[in-house]
Structure 1
Amino acid sequence: MSSPLQNRIEQAFAEFEQQKIAISGIERKIEAAKTTVTAKNRAVTVTVDGRGDLVEVKFPTNAYRTMPPAELGSLLVETTKAAREQAREGAAELFQTILPAGMPILDMLNGSVDFDEMMSEAMRAANEPFPGAASSPNRPEESR
């Protein structure tokens, strides 16, 4: 006969395995994804992979030939940036299916999240007692 604790452990493990499978599926979709953006003037088309890395640049018309180099360079940068943003938004949508609501997914994908600070905040929150809860025997009483 299994104990309630044993049942909870088995349930947690099963949920963990389901999350691993879901994450693997998301990783496969991101690996296979491609995002293509064409500039408004149709002078350049760029393609990025699911992680936002540039994989292809095309010039669908001859318009690039008459563009000043600085303008063409700027157009390439802007178009690539737009493609990367679309790729990140697509990846964020995939991750939203498995991550808790309210997670800053786009910020995480853009690299603008301080994970050390996020973990510190989570640890502080985990160590604070619930409002109205009695003090834990493992926690020293706060000075009053």
Structure 2
Amino acid sequence: METPPVRRLEQTLADFAERYGALTRAREQMRALSVTACSRDDVVEVTVGADGRPASIRFVDERFREMPAAQLGDSVLEALSTARAEVAARFSAAMASAGLPVQVTRETTRPRPQGPLWGRRPASSYAPLPPDLRAAVVALTDSVCDAVRCV
């Protein structure tokens, strides 16, 4: 038996509200994301934010003064790489919990969402709707897209 158009619209709106809530929670997790990692030799500690940029670099003790520059540089890069990898893992986990697939590119450790998060989807991915219901869904989609762009 076919679902009535009003019931499908209600389900579409409920699905949208659930997805929007998940995305909002993931965005808040990303805003608060900060990772601190230490080098294996425990000389350097690096904190990075959600964008993978270093927020702070701290020398744990005075041992760094006796290290050759190349070794100290390696320790800094190691701690930075470890922190960035953890940020990427947490980003992926947050996006996955929101039901959004991600892809990590080789050029960067920061994952990128796959496909559009908002906006129009290909018409082929939906069953045809009655004209009046389709008009309501298109109007809702346009309103949401406009609201998201203004934020």
TM-score by length of 2: 0.64
Letter in 1 for 2:104: D
Answering whether residue 104 of structure 2 is matched by residue 107 of structure 1, we say yes
Distance 1:106 1:54, change over 3 A: farther
The SS at the match of 1:37 is: strand
* Contact in 2 for aligned 1:31/1:51 (Cα 8 Å): no
CA spacing shift, 1:5–1:96, aligned 2, 3 Å: same
Q: Is the contact between residue 44 and residue 60 of structure 1 (CA under 8 Å) also seen in structure 2?
A: yes
Q: Tell me the distance in 2 between the aligned counterparts of 1:51 and 1:112.
A: 10
The alpha-carbon deviation at position 40 of structure 1 amounts to 1.4
**Higher RCO (CA < 8 A, seq sep 6+):** 2
The alpha carbon displacement at 1:74 in A equals 1.8
Verify the 8 A CA contact 1:89 1:106 in the aligned structure 2: no
Separation of aligned partners in 2, 1:11 and 1:112? 30
Partner of 2:147: none
Q: Hey, what does 1:8 align to over in structure 2? A: 8
Q: How does 1:1-144 map to 2 (within 5 A)?
A: 4-99=4-99, 103=101, 105-107=102-104, 110=109
CA distance in 2, matches of 1:36, 1:111: 16
AA aligned opposite 2:48: V
- Evaluate the alpha carbon distance shift between residue 31 and residue 57 of structure 1 in structure 2; reply closer, same or farther with a 3 A threshold: same
Letter of the 1:26 partner, please give it: A
The separation in 1 between residues aligned to 2:47 and 2:64, in whole angstroms, is 17
Unaligned runs of 5+ in 2: 116-121, 126-151
Give the 3-state SS of the residue equivalent to 2:99 in structure 1. Answer: coil
Higher strand share: 2
> Does structure 1 conserve the Cα–Cα contact (< 8 Å) formed by 2:38 and 2:79?
yes
Give distance in 2, aligned partners of 1:4 and 1:31: 41
State the superposition RMSD in angstroms.
2.9
Percent of aligned pairs with the same residue? 21
| Whole-Å separation in 2 of the counterparts to 1:84 and 1:39 | 13
TM superposition shift of 1:110: 3.5
| Cα deviations by residue, 1:60-89 (Å, 9 ceiling, x for unpaired) | 111111111122112211210110001110
